[in-house]
Structure 1
């Protein structure tokens, strides 16, 4: 039995809650995963996992073994980190999940510089606005926006993005410009909704001490659940909507988009690099974090250099 591989398999099952998920994220056949766990339990002479028709749970002995196993794996990763430079730099697989607009407009255009620095890192980039289960799906790191509530994960501040409210020049020519957020009730509004919950996100406007929350539900307009499609809807003249300023700026400069209600702002949108605590000392993770902080710095409104 390859006990180190068995340890990794056991930890992945304990974190994901299933043999199939572990097999998929580790790129192993499910029978191999099953055999490794059987051999590990036989070697230890204890039951680590309790299997039922619906779920896999960790036994009391398995919980204790999990704590030791994660420490052992973290120590191994730390040893790899210590000798990474001597072996020619960090190497291996790194799976990152990024929202669609951030991937297409920031990460992917800058990715050649990461590949040049770290050619031995095999980067797998998941792209989409769906919120992933970082642990359960075997993702090493996500770039996630908004407020974070999961204290079991490490969150490194990445940037604070600026918002704007926009419509196409054709839409403005045909329908005019709202003088106040309340006037959006007389316009077509492009809404954004969660692909996971279906919740429609409100538009938020602040001006001095005044705050206006605008709920686009029930209006005649288009709703989308993907950030790049939301921008395309704005450029296509389907209505008025709020998006990140860095996304809209090229279209504003070309004259295709017009900023409306510019005196009304919205609080900056915080971005974080989020990863499991066990990944903190990984050489691959540290390499990606250093690169991402550098790439996103020009877009950070707190740095005062956000494109306008």
Structure 2
């Protein structure tokens, strides 16, 4: 009996490599169900990928059903060839990365305003580690509102951005950074500054500055009991108006700390007013390989791991 010739139509591309990696993991795990966790995709998605691969190869790779998972003879041959191919791809990746031990290129990163005073500012240290890997790395920072940063990352003019997690956008990947605490403040010029018996009812009597930028529904609830008489497009604008003594307003605690320490601001009713904002780094789904960007994220991962091991007492 003559062997059937295996023919891939056209050039071997990223789609083929993805399908072959799924096939390899299915074989290594001994079936679709066992591979779900390792691949982090559903059994239905795995089944669809296997069907696509079989269609592209024009052959049956495995038997799957009540009797369990088992490779066909052709499937075993394809698996052996897959292991050789993926090992060669990884060897190529290692060799090329080795050529870039001295990093060269750009990192374009967008950052929401007023994060530089955040304790445990991992972005700063990750950028420092990135620059230490090569003087030919050029870092470009764009300070912008979250929506502008998200759009720039989607369009490709920014590689990554640090933004509050307000809602998930389908075209973006999210890496958690930290939680930011915001509290209600007045300035030393405000009537509430010397009031030591301030309560929620009294606070509701005074003019407040509210944000005109997007917030989550949970955060918007924190403003419901305030008297909105001014607005600001960013946190620095809120600080300007609070410092006039005419308004109260929410500010990140790390941002307001300088004025609190100088006696120019006071936190109001900390048990009743405050909220958390989740910050993350965003990248575009399906982005092209970028060694500078990956090196930045490696440095960031190392810093985050070190911070988590040290515990809250370290920051």
* TM-score in terms of structure 1 length: 0.57
Q: Is contact 2:146–2:164 with CA below 8 Å preserved after alignment?
A: no
**1:168 match:** 187
In 2, the alpha carbon distance for the partners of 1:292 and 1:148 equals: 23
Aligned pair count reads 219
**1:131 match:** 147
**2:232 match:** 224
Q: Is contact 2:192–2:198 with CA below 8 Å preserved after alignment?
A: no
**2:198 match:** 179
In 2, the alpha carbon distance for the partners of 1:264 and 1:191 equals: 17
Name the SS of the counterpart of 1:164 in structure 2.
Answer: strand
Larger Rg: 2
2:161 pairs with 1:147? no
**1:158 match:** 177
**2:247 match:** 239
In 1, the alpha carbon distance for the partners of 2:314 and 2:255 equals: 11
From 250, 260, 268, give the equivalent of 2:258. Answer: 250
Larger displacement relative to structure 2 (291-300 or 129-138): 291-300
**2:138 match:** 122
Alpha-carbon distance, 1:115 to partner = 2.8
Change (3 A) 1:293 1:187: farther
Alpha-carbon distance, 1:83 to partner = 2.8
Q: Is contact 2:206–2:247 with CA below 8 Å preserved after alignment?
A: yes
**1:42 match:** none
Q: Is contact 1:178–1:184 with CA below 8 Å preserved after alignment?
A: no
Unaligned runs of 5+ in 1: 1-75, 206-212
In 2, the alpha carbon distance for the partners of 1:169 and 1:295 equals: 38
In 1, the alpha carbon distance for the partners of 2:305 and 2:258 equals: 19
In 2, the alpha carbon distance for the partners of 1:265 and 1:82 equals: 55
In 1, the alpha carbon distance for the partners of 2:95 and 2:274 equals: 44
**2:209 match:** 190
Q: Is contact 2:185–2:249 with CA below 8 Å preserved after alignment?
A: yes
Name the SS of the counterpart of 2:177 in structure 1.
Answer: strand
Change (3 A) 1:272 1:199: closer
**1:102 match:** 115
Alignment map for 1:5-20 (pairs within 5 Å): none
In 2, the alpha carbon distance for the partners of 1:115 and 1:108 equals: 12
In 2, the alpha carbon distance for the partners of 1:127 and 1:117 equals: 24
Alpha-carbon distance, 1:216 to partner = 4.9
Alpha-carbon distance, 1:260 to partner = 0.6
Alpha-carbon distance, 1:98 to partner = 0.8
Name the SS of the counterpart of 1:239 in structure 2.
Answer: coil
Name the SS of the counterpart of 1:147 in structure 2.
Answer: coil
Alpha-carbon distance, 1:164 to partner = 1.4
Q: What is the CA RMSD across the aligned residues, in angstroms? A: 4.0
Name the SS of the counterpart of 1:97 in structure 2.
Answer: strand
Deviation digits for residues 235-294 of structure 1, max 9, x if unmatched? 343421111111112221221111111112534211111101334853211222244456
Q: Is contact 2:187–2:193 with CA below 8 Å preserved after alignment?
A: no
In 1, the alpha carbon distance for the partners of 2:111 and 2:131 equals: 17
* TM-score in terms of structure 2 length: 0.56
Name the SS of the counterpart of 1:170 in structure 2.
Answer: coil
**1:54 match:** none
Q: Is contact 2:242–2:249 with CA below 8 Å preserved after alignment?
A: yes
